[in-house]
Amino acid sequence: MIISLQNISKSFGANNVLKNISIAIDKKECVGIIGPNGAGKSTLFKIISGSLFQDGGSIIFNDANIDKLSIEKRSRLGISQSFQSNSLFNEMTVKENIMVACSQSFKVGWELFKSLDKRTNIITKSYEIAEEVGLTEYLDFRSDNLSYGLQRQLEVGLAIANNPSLLLLDEPTAGMSNEETKNIVKMVKKLSTYYTTIIVEHDMDVIYSLAKKIYVLDSGDLIFDGTPNEVKNSKLVQERYIGIKQ
Ligand SMILES: Nc1ncnc2c1ncn2[C@@H]1O[C@H](COP(=O)(O)OP(=O)(O)OP(=O)(O)O)[C@@H](O)[C@H]1O
Ligand SMILES: [Mg+2]
């Protein structure tokens, strides 16, 4: 097992956003989290990555309690959340963006960035990452010249730059065309064979084709967990989530 969430609860004022959530995830598993808007999915991700702290319960990561660890410390342990668009350096190329992310994992300071070209290990690693997220042919493109879909692929590239052992992807296909979605699915399918991946998605076809196991949140409650087939056949999930989806 790589991570175990034990009785996690979180409130914002009177709003009980997560109520006693317990989830255990095995290494190299690809797990999906679904549920209506406001169910608590992103809050759960933030609690795992350390950008928010839970009010109750514990998180065990690789057999260690990480409840008190900052987002930076969790990242060093291997928990990585895909960045939002505004985390890209727009004026930099794809290669440079990935090199900055890699330089952090190689512990090379920012001040050395200008001489990074000489650092072959970082360059080699950057090429590998570009390949993993399907951006090899765009290495010299400025990131703000990429299509929206390719920018999201780059964000995933930044998230895998420090060889995470747990990758959190929050709605990686949001706002994408069918073609862009297909590319992301192909990419995540491959990545999830190396990295334990948790993916939050509203697109059920995406979830069904990626996740081996799916957890369903509704108003902060974990109402169901099962395989894609079990979710498809669950009356409860149909009523509480899929049935109300647009
Ligand atoms: N920082 C915050 N302060 C106060 N309330 C918050 C905060 N973050 C989230 N919430 C509330 O917590 C609840 C769960 O939000 P969350 O973003 O986790 O939902 P979600 O399942 O990710 O929804 P969506 O599918 O729309 O992304 C919502 O009612 C939201 O308004
Ligand atoms: Mg969300």
Q: pLDDT digits over 200-225, tens only?
A: 999 999 999 999 999 999 999 999 99
Q: Are residues 46 and 92 in the same domain?
A: no
The CATH number given to whatever domain includes residue 68 is 3.40.50.300
Q: Looking at the structure, do residues 150 and 39 belong to the same domain, yes or no?
A: no
Residues 169 and 227 in one domain: yes
Q: Are 170 and 45 in contact (CB under 8 A)?
A: yes
Domain termination residue (choose one: 108, 143, 163): 163
Q: How many domains does the chain have?
A: 2
Percent helix, strand, coil in the chain, to 5, is 45, 25, 30
Residue 206 shares a structural domain with residue 225: yes
Closest C-alpha to ligand 1, atom 6:
12
CB 220 near ligand 1, within 6 Å? no
> Do residues 91 and 168 share a domain?
no
Q: Is 43 in the pocket of ligand 1 (CB under 6 A)?
A: yes
**Ligand (nearest to CA of 35):** 1
Residue 38 CB less than 6 A away from ligand 1:
yes
Question: 168 and 227 share a domain?
Answer: yes
What lies within 8 Å, CB to CB, of 239 at 6+ separation is none
State whether 168 and 235 are in the same domain.
yes
pLDDT of residue 12 exceeding 80, the answer is: yes
Last residue of a domain, one of 163, 196, 216: 163
Same domain, 63 and 90: no
Q: Are residues 125 and 233 both part of a single domain? A: no
Q: How sure is the predictor about 242, in pLDDT bands with cuts at 50, 70 and 90?
A: confident
Q: Which residues, 6 or more positions from 68, have their beta carbon under 8 angstroms from its beta carbon?
A: none
Range of the domain at 57: 1-78+164-246
- The answer to whether the CB of 37 is under 6 A from ligand 1 is yes
- Give the number of whichever ligand sits closest to the CA of residue 84: 2
**Residues 43/5, Cβ–Cβ less than 8 Å:** no
Nearest protein CA to atom 3 of ligand 1, as residue: 12
Closest atom, ligand 1, to C-alpha of 202: 25
Q: Specify the pTM.
A: 0.91
Q: Are residues 28 and 72 in the same domain?
A: yes
The residue whose CA is least distant from atom 29 of ligand 1 is 38
Q: How confident is the model at residue 102 (pLDDT cuts 50, 70, 90)?
A: confident
- How confident is the model over 142-173, as pLDDT tens digits? 999 999 999 999 999 999 998 899 999 999 99
Same domain, 108 and 123: yes
57 close to 9: Cβ distance less than 8 angstroms: yes
Ligand 1 atom 16 nearest Cα: 40
Nearest to 102 by CA among 91, 93, 113, 92: 113
pLDDT, tens digit, 9 for 90 and up, residues 169-186: 999 999 999 999 999 999
Domain boundary among the residues 146, 163, 180 is at: 163
Q: What is the pLDDT of residue 121?
A: 80
- Are 171 and 159 contained in the same domain? no
Q: Given the DSSP bridges, would you call strands 15-25 and 3-12 parallel, antiparallel or unpaired?
A: antiparallel
Is the pLDDT at 110 greater than 80, yes or no?
A: no
**What's the gap in Å between 221 CA and the centre of ligand 1?**
13
